[in-house]
Amino acid sequence: MSFLGVSNYCGQHLEDFAIHAKSLYRICDQQTIFEMTQAIIQAHVKIKYALTNALFLLIPDWKHPFKMYIDAGGEGLGAALHQVQIANDKPYEGPIYFLSRQIQPTEARYGAGQMECLCIVWPLEKHHYYLDGSVFEIITDFNAVKSLLNTKTPNRHMLRWQISIHEYRGNITIVHKAGNIHKNADGLSRWSLPNTPDNPAYDPTSAEPPISIEGINITDVGTEFVEEVRESYKQDKNCHILTSLLDKYCKDASLANSLDDICKTSYDNGRFHFLSGLLYNRCKHTCVMVLCSRMLINTILLECHDNTYSGHLSEERKMERIKPCAWWPSWRKDVIEYFHSCDKFQKANKASEKRFGLMIHIQELSTPGKWFIWIW
């Protein structure tokens, strides 16, 4: 019905429209069984071709007033700019411009009144070069628009829209038209065009900006390093117990109670996981490898602080850098001690510098000095 509404509104400009639309109107009857036949498909294609290829747009004449038909649907906005001109000594109303677009995600939360007011402001911005300084009417099927635009206590949207149409005051008139005869803009809002660059009403500023990714770092842990970590588990009591508990899903309470306090608490909270011979500690959204060998721990500290690409960061930044890399029971304490033992940190730290000397009292002159000028 929406397609026939737009087609019928422009039917006077289409050749043999009544003949092609006869079969389409027949299937719209409630008493008729809907059956998609080849004749109906051909009729739809012919009308659609005639709508998109017929040259019936008028050239605007600024001596005559304009008419702008608007309608807001559940998924789109539609507007049609018309004008009554004299043709063959008779008044003739024809279209000048058509607009249609889908609503933005933020606009989907608007109520019916706000959506209709948006449908007034948006076409005014697009048709500004036609309507600036001209007298025109806005025809809508929402009668409350007139009172909404003149409300004394508007919200922030209404206030912004009132300011945007203030320049048209004196030239604009809002007219109500029943929805059953408001077909031209109704079809545009129901069959709105997508918000793509192909749409003549496309606004590049309304498109969501692309998300920029400055860089992605991917590091592959060497096989030798992984083997050293696995071998180190055999030498550490806590790691050996954890691998025994997690590898075979052992529920031995006495074995779990033999863990140290920190490891016991993490194990009870379900933070340890065992995968491919490696232990992992999970905390919120991060899951990192468990280390126990002092040599491997020093390697991590060296790479995260003394390496050329590490930059000798501050204590807090170094904590953030090591946290997603590895975990061991005393990792926070070791990071702080390693940070304060750094030679470059000690040289750059103002707290380790010598105190400034005390101020020395300057002796004032008791008598003014004498200056002698020798002239040769």
Q: How far is CA 62 from the centre of its chain?
A: 41
Taking only the tens place, the pLDDT of each residue in 246-270 is 877 677 778 888 888 888 888 888 8
DSSP-assigned letters across all residues of 7-47: HHHTGGGSTTHHHHHHHHHHHTSTTSPP---HHHHHHHHHH
252: left (phi over 0), alpha (psi -120 to 50) or beta: beta
Instruction: Say how far apart CA 87 and CA 75 lie, in whole Å.
Output: 37
The Cα angle at residue 259 between residues 257 and 260, in degrees rounded to 5? 120
Contact 295, 328 (CB under 8 A): no
Q: With beta carbons less than 8 A apart as the criterion, state whether 349 and 358 touch.
A: no
303-310 contact pairs (CB < 8 A, 24+): 305/338, 305/339, 305/342, 306/342
Q: Which residue has 């008598």 as its token pair?
A: 367
What pLDDT sits at residue 183? Answer: 66
What is the predicted pLDDT for the residue at 99?
83
SS percent in the chain: helix, strand, coil, step 5:
45, 15, 40
Place of tokens 């702080």: 336
CB 334 within 8 A of CB 301: yes
The Cα 233–Cα 245 span in angstroms is 13
Please give the pLDDT value at position 297.
Answer: 86
Query: 286-309 pLDDT, tens per residue?
Result: 788 888 888 888 888 888 777 766
pLDDT at 75: 80
Same CATH fold, 223-348 and 66-203? no
Tell me the fold of 66-203. Nucleotidyltransferase; domain 5 (3.30.420)
What pLDDT, on a 0 to 100 scale, did the predictor assign at position 10?
Answer: 65
pTM check: above 0.75: no
Any idea what the Cα angle at residue 226 is, between residues 220 and 228, rounded to 5°? 140
Q: Which residues of 248-259 are buried (b: 16+ CB within 10 A; e: fewer)?
A: eeeeeeeebeeb
**C-alpha distance from residue 368 to each of 65, 361, 372 (Å):** 95, 19, 13
Q: How many Å apart are CA 120 and CA 72, to the nearest integer?
A: 9
Q: What is the pLDDT of residue 76?
A: 85
Residue 152 is which amino acid?
K
pLDDT digits (tens, 9 = 90+) for 52-82: 665 567 888 888 899 999 888 878 888 888 8
The per-residue pLDDT for 318 is: 77
Domains of the chain, by residue range, sit at 2-53, 66-203, 223-348
**Cα 31–chain centre separation:** 48
Q: pLDDT value at position 66?
A: 92
Tokens 């290829």 sit on residue: 53
pLDDT at 146: 73
Structure token pair of residue 214 = 């400055």
Beta bridge partners of 233: none
Instruction: Quote the pLDDT of residue 148.
Output: 65
Share of residues in the chain with pLDDT > 90 (%): 1
| Model pLDDT, residue 15 | 62
Residues of the chain below pLDDT 50: 217
DSSP string, 322-347: HTTTEE-TTHHHHHHHHHHT-HHHHH
Interatomic CA distance for residues 128 and 169, integer angstroms:
14
User: Does 1.10.340.70 match the CATH number of domain 223-348?
Assistant: yes
* Residue 224 confidence (pLDDT): 84
Would you state the pLDDT for residue 293? 86
Q: What is the DSSP string of 258-293?
A: TS-HHHHHHHHTT-EEEETTEEEEEETTEEEEE---
Residue 20 dihedral angles phi and psi, to the nearest 5°? -75, -35
Q: What would you measure as the largest C-alpha separation in the chain, in angstroms?
A: 132
